[in-house]
Amino acid sequence: MVANMVDVVRIPKLGLSDYGDLVAWEFDTGDRVEEGDVVAVLESEKASAEIEAPASEVLLEQYVEEGEEIAIEVGKPLAVIGEEGESAPSVAELEDDGGSDDGRSSADEAAASPNAGSAGAEANGGTAAAAADVKATPRAKRRANDEDVDLTGIDGTGPQGAVTENDIEAFLESGDGASAGGGDESDSDGGSTADVKATPRAKRRAEEEGVELSRVDGTGPQGAITEDDVVEFASGGGDHGPDASASASGESSGDGLTVTDSRELTGARKTIAERLSESAREKPHVMGTREIGIERLEEVTDRLQENGVDVSLNDLVLHFVGRTLEDLPEFNAHFEDGEHRLIDEVNVGYAVDSEKGLVVPVIDDAPNRDLEELASERRRLVDAVLENEHEPSDLQGGTFTVTNVGVFDMDVSYSIINPPQVAILALGRRKPMPVERDGDVEFERGMTFSLTIDHRALDGADSGAFLDRLAEYLEYPGRAFDAV
């Protein structure tokens, strides 16, 4: 049971993705912290989040190492603070408290409940009946049910001998747990993956990485392959395959080329890579382009600036993109669970090239903002990203994304859609474009707009309609700004 005087530093509700890195501890064990001090920094989903101390006490114990990748779960304990010299509880005790700091243990609740563990007892006969008598925390029971683990075969280390979620995890990582739920695979051909002893996590990771488990050397109990073994193999960390030597600088790759530098993806860069790879695999991307004149739009920008309105041409483009999304709501949408979900709010993401990679802050209610307000919000978001001072909330709620590749002197970009959105628009560089008028060819300033769509939700005709409507706004902005 957790001492009542200890305060737990837990992960609050952040709106980040499922996994992230604890990139920094701002205090060491034994340091005194004040309530509200930032004690740790988490990084996930292209954003950083600061974790604050809940009270003014001494940092007694850190449960996560700096640089460690962890599951971003609300209530997950990261550290404890308390009076100097006070003993720190174990992670198992904290987790079994169910996220509260009042010293109440889920194991105690399980022991007090006469029906604890009885769910599903009839389904498995005597085994389930025996499991019903096992003292276990609710989290342990859920995990055992998910992994098809028999609780009667696990020694509990929790209060009063209760089985905790950590006990389930230890069992799964052990040689005995590696084969849980997989007895039917023993008749497979010799040398197959089914004959390889590996933990459930290792099997899932191997499937994600496309790794053949029979090629991996296990370092777990009884030679079982662990998730770390799979990760090391996939990254070429050992002598497991022809490309393993490519991980070291100066050594040769599998095709005989010399590797001068090998850079492991971590933190935000790793998250970006995973999300965009997933989008490229799952979404059938189709791109269409159109050259649109911007001379009148530049004139409007100049007139607004002369009248004291601090806006750029890109701000006007963002405004008109928002209006186009209002006109064609099928683009202002998400594709999730096989459904094309149209969104009421029009929140335009604006991609920013930062030191940590491409980050997409979101301008809420883009078409209905005052132009000066929209421009101010865009500048604030861009500055926050470049200074790495943006909040997770700055990146949430996007319904469509705009990326400006013109700053790199590019015209066209086959951009990857930011999931779960259904389209992304790339702005090319400003350039002279030939325009035919009454048989004469003249040059006017314009830009190439590249629209990439998710073909599951949208078609080529939809792309044409979007670019046509956007062109009407950009080439004849006076129709929309009667007062200008």
70 and 149 share a domain?
Answer: no
296 and 423 share a domain?
Answer: yes
Flag whether pLDDT at 139 surpasses 60: yes
Q: Which two tokens stand for residue 291?
A: 């050259």
Q: Confirm whether 403 is domain-assigned.
A: yes
Give the domain CATH number at 23. 2.40.50.100
Which range has the worst mean pLDDT, 78-82, 100-104, 190-194, 210-214?
Answer: 100-104
Flag whether pLDDT at 244 surpasses 70: no
What is the structure's pLDDT at 102?
Answer: 42
Q: Is 113 helix (H, G, I), strand (E, B) or coil?
A: coil
Range with top average pLDDT, 124-128, 138-142, 163-167, 333-337: 333-337
Query: Could you tell me the pLDDT band of residue 475, with boundaries at 50, 70 and 90?
Result: very high
Q: What does the pLDDT average to over 57-67?
A: 90
14 and 95 share a domain?
Answer: yes
Query: How many domains, the chain?
Result: 4
Please give the C-alpha separations between residue 304 and each of 189, 300, 309, 473, in angstroms, as whole numbers: 74, 6, 5, 17
Look up the domain containing 204 and give its range. 183-247
| DSSP single-letter state for residue 45 | T
Q: Which two tokens stand for residue 116?
A: 């604890």
232 and 352 share a domain?
Answer: no
What is the structure's pLDDT at 239?
Answer: 46
DSSP 306-363: HTT----HHHHHHHHHHHHHHHSGGGSEEEETTEEEE-SS--EEE-EEETTEEE--EE
Strand pairing of 423-427 and 400-404? parallel
Place of tokens 């080529």: 460
Q: What does the pLDDT average to over 370-397?
A: 92
Q: Confirm whether 352 is domain-assigned.
A: yes
Flag whether pLDDT at 119 surpasses 60: no
Q: What does the pLDDT average to over 396-409?
A: 94
What is the structure's pLDDT at 200?
Answer: 63
49 and 120 share a domain?
Answer: no
What is the structure's pLDDT at 112?
Answer: 35
129 and 81 share a domain?
Answer: no
Q: Confirm whether 260 is domain-assigned.
A: no
Q: What is the pTM of this model?
A: 0.55
Q: What does the pLDDT average to over 445-468?
A: 96
Query: Could you tell me the pLDDT band of residue 87, with boundaries at 50, 70 and 90?
Result: confident
431: buried, middle or exposed (CB in 10 Å: 19+, 13-18, 0-12)?
Answer: middle
Beta-carbon contacts of 365 under 8 Å, excluding residues fewer than 6 positions away, are 345, 346, 347
459 and 422 share a domain?
Answer: yes
Give the domain CATH number at 210. 4.10.320.10
Give me the helices (H) in 345-457, please: 371-386
Q: Confirm whether 232 is domain-assigned.
A: yes
Q: Which amino acid is at 476?
A: Y
318-360, pLDDT tens digit by residue?
999 999 999 999 999 999 989 999 999 999 999 999 887 889 9
Query: Could you tell me the pLDDT band of residue 220, with boundaries at 50, 70 and 90?
Result: low
Q: Is 30 helix (H, G, I), strand (E, B) or coil?
A: coil
Flag whether pLDDT at 179 surpasses 70: no
- For 433, phi then psi, to 5°, come to -125, 140
What is the structure's pLDDT at 19?
Answer: 67
Flag whether pLDDT at 382 surpasses 90: yes
Evaluate whether 333 touches 419 at the Cβ level (below 8 Å).
no
Helix, strand, coil distribution of the chain in percent, nearest 5: 40, 20, 40
Q: Confirm whether 262 is domain-assigned.
A: no
Q: Rounded to an integer, what distance in angstroms lies between the CA atom of residue 349 and that of residue 394?
A: 10
Beta-carbon contacts of 227 under 8 Å, excluding residues fewer than 6 positions away, are 199, 201, 202, 205
Q: Confirm whether 263 is domain-assigned.
A: no
What is the structure's pLDDT at 380?
Answer: 96
Q: Rounded to an integer, what distance in angstroms lies between the CA atom of residue 161 and that of residue 370?
A: 63
238 and 113 share a domain?
Answer: no
327: buried, middle or exposed (CB in 10 Å: 19+, 13-18, 0-12)?
Answer: middle
For residue 92, the tally of other CB atoms under 10 A from its CB is 22
Place of tokens 């100066």: 250
396: buried, middle or exposed (CB in 10 Å: 19+, 13-18, 0-12)?
Answer: middle
Flag whether pLDDT at 50 surpasses 90: no
For the chain, what is the largest distance between any 2 Cα atoms, rounded to a whole number of angstroms?
91
Evaluate whether 280 touches 416 at the Cβ level (below 8 Å).
yes
Q: How many angstroms separate the first and last alpha carbons of the chain?
A: 69
Mean pLDDT of the chain: 79
Q: Confirm whether 22 is domain-assigned.
A: yes
Beta-carbon contacts of 107 under 8 Å, excluding residues fewer than 6 positions away, are 96, 135, 136, 137, 158, 159, 160, 162, 164
Flag whether pLDDT at 181 surpasses 80: no
What is the structure's pLDDT at 127?
Answer: 47
Q: Which two tokens stand for residue 97?
A: 């408290």
96 and 113 share a domain?
Answer: no
Q: Which two tokens stand for residue 152?
A: 């009667």
Q: Rounded to an integer, what distance in angstroms lies between the CA atom of residue 366 and that of residue 363?
A: 6
Evaluate whether 381 touches 361 at the Cβ level (below 8 Å).
yes
| Closest CA relative to residue 351, chosen from 427, 420, 414 | 427
Q: What does the pLDDT average to over 126-152?
A: 66
406-453, pLDDT tens digit by residue?
999 999 999 999 999 999 999 999 999 988 878 888 899 999 999 999
11 and 130 share a domain?
Answer: no
Q: Confirm whether 257 is domain-assigned.
A: no
436 and 332 share a domain?
Answer: yes
Q: Pick from 63, 83, 104: which residue ends a domain?
A: 104
274 and 201 share a domain?
Answer: no
What is the structure's pLDDT at 237?
Answer: 54
Q: Pick from 57, 72, 104: which residue ends a domain?
A: 104
Strand pairing of 362-363 and 77-82? unpaired
Q: Pick from 73, 104, 135: which residue ends a domain?
A: 104
